[in-house]
Amino acid sequence: MLNEKKNKLFLRIFIGLVFLVMATAQYLIFLWVPEEKTLGVVQKIFYFHVGAAWVAFFAFFIVFVFSILYLATQERRWDRVSAASAEIGTVFTTIVLVTGPIWAKSSWNTWWTWEPRLTTSLILWFIYLAYILIRISAGDVERKAKLAAVFGIIGFLDVPVVFYAVNWWSVSHPMLFGQGKMNLASDMLLTLQVTVAAFTLLYFYLLEKGIAVFRMQDEVNKIKDRLREITD
Amino acid sequence: MKYLFWAYTLTWALIFAYTLVLGSREKKLLREVNFLKQAVNDNDFNNFQEY
């Protein structure tokens, strides 16, 4: 009971922190950081485009790690982390794929080009969409979890390809990292760092909620199985 | 400015939509848990399969 109270208090403090950092990020993006000289105000899309991409990559990394853990130990709790993280990663990849073309339209006058960064990002989105489809399809829970874990491990291989696509191939996509350092003015870098921190905190909040939902689903399935045994 | 507006709006719309989906799943599961608990307490196992 005391632990439950402590957890609720911790969650409330954490939600407050998420709001605070997120509000700071919005302030920095819209009121503090200067507009980029050539692109103008539309360059501000960059902050949540990159922030979302970071969360997506991080979420898929968590899927990768916890999928390995699940396959090694067969413990359901690791699978729940992977399942929740994959959903969040897919949502944030969707944000990347939505904000990217909007930015592209304003800067390059085209919604989409089949250049490597964009194409590999789209492939990444399809991989984790398939991962979610495996999860929600009918069938044995354990079998689906194992298949999803294998998918989560293999799917993660696309993440470094997306990240390094601008270095490996000659592309029109802006290059954030060059020669081991960031190509960004200090005020823009600070704004980006705060936005990334805000999105990362939001990720952990959503992860906690997602894990709770999957845990509850497991409990429901367990009770149903037991009731079926009784009635059969 | 309209590009920034749409990018910003869609970003938050997606995040809110996902939060709402999580919330509704949680509510549905809570209802299910309560129904199952009630079924166990009442020893009424005939109707639980409707879930």
Task: Decide if A213 and B26 are in contact by the 8 Å CB cutoff.
Answer: yes
Residue of B nearest to A217 (CA): B29
Contacts of A86 in chain B (CB under 8 A): none
Residue-number span of the structural domain to which A211 is assigned: 2-231
Complex ipTM, two decimals? 0.87
CA distance to partner chain B, nearest, from residue A208 (Å): 11
| Contacting residues of B for A88, CB less than 8 Å apart | 18
Residue of B nearest to A103 (CA): B3
Q: Angle A116-136/A76-108 helices, nearest 10 degrees?
A: 150
Put simply, the answer to whether B15 touches A91 (Cβ < 8 Å) is: yes
The model's pLDDT over A127-169, given as tens digits with 9 standing for 90+, comes to: 999 999 999 987 888 899 999 999 999 999 999 998 888 777 7
The structural domain count of chain A equals 1
* Alpha carbons within 13 A on the beta-carbon side of A176: 15
Residue that is written with structure tokens 């994959």 in the block: A86
Interface check for B6 against chain A (CB to CB < 8 A): the answer is: yes
* B23 vs A contacts (CB less than 8 Å): 209
CB-CB under 8 Å, A230 with B19: no
pTM confidence score: 0.89
Residues of B in contact with A39 (CB under 8 A): none
Q: Does A96 touch chain B (CB under 8 A)?
A: no
Q: pLDDT by residue for chain A (232 residues), tens digit each?
A: 668 788 889 989 999 999 999 999 999 999 998 888 788 888 899 999 999 999 999 999 999 999 999 999 999 999 999 999 999 999 999 999 999 999 888 888 889 888 888 999 999 999 999 999 999 987 888 899 999 999 999 999 999 998 888 777 766 666 666 555 667 888 999 999 999 999 999 999 999 999 999 999 998 888 888 887 777 7
Contacts of B36 in chain A (CB under 8 A): 220, 223-224, 227
Hey, what amino acid is at B24? S
CATH of the domain at A213: 1.20.120
Task: Say how far apart CA A83 and CA A79 lie, in whole Å.
Answer: 6
Cα(A188)–Cα(A35) distance, integer angstroms: 9
